[in-house]
Amino acid sequence: MFNKKKSNWRKIHPMKGLFFLLLALGFLLLIGNVVMYLWNAIIPDAVGGKPISFWQALGLFLLFRILMGGVRYGVFGGRKRARRRKYWKEKWMKMEPEEREHFRRKWKERCNRKKE
């Protein structure tokens, strides 16, 4: 009655893994070269900075990612953030004005608290 064969949709084909590895390396090469080219084309003439190498450009890109939002899984990491934003927006819209004011006061207390 039921098909006894197990589904193999979870198995990762070695060529698929190799493809994604090459895709990631290609992305790193592209990003490194774009950052290096833009830096070397703009910064030395604009502010008198020194030209940078490919590895410095990758380091600069990684530093930028860490400082401006962290290194997340996925390309943009937006799904989880979008769900959280939607949850809080719905919660905020359902609040009464008194509840909203209480919520604001509590967050101000929490954010303005002196570090001990």
Residues sharing a CB contact under 8 Å with residue 40, sequence separation 6 or more, in sequence order: 51, 52
Q: Specify the pLDDT at position 59.
A: 92
Average pLDDT, the chain: 82
Q: With pLDDT > 70 as the criterion, what percentage of the chain qualifies? A: 78
CA 115 from chain center: how many Å?
29
User: How many C-beta atoms surround the C-beta of residue 33 within 10 A?
Assistant: 13
Condensed to tens digits (0 to 9), the pLDDT of residues 32-77 reads: 999 999 999 998 888 988 999 999 999 999 888 888 876 655 555 5
Q: What is the mean pLDDT of residues 82-95?
A: 88
User: What pLDDT is stored for residue 1 in this prediction?
Assistant: 47
Count of Cβ atoms closer than 10 Å to residue 79 Cβ: 9
| Residue 76 neighbours by CB under 8 Å, 6+ apart | none
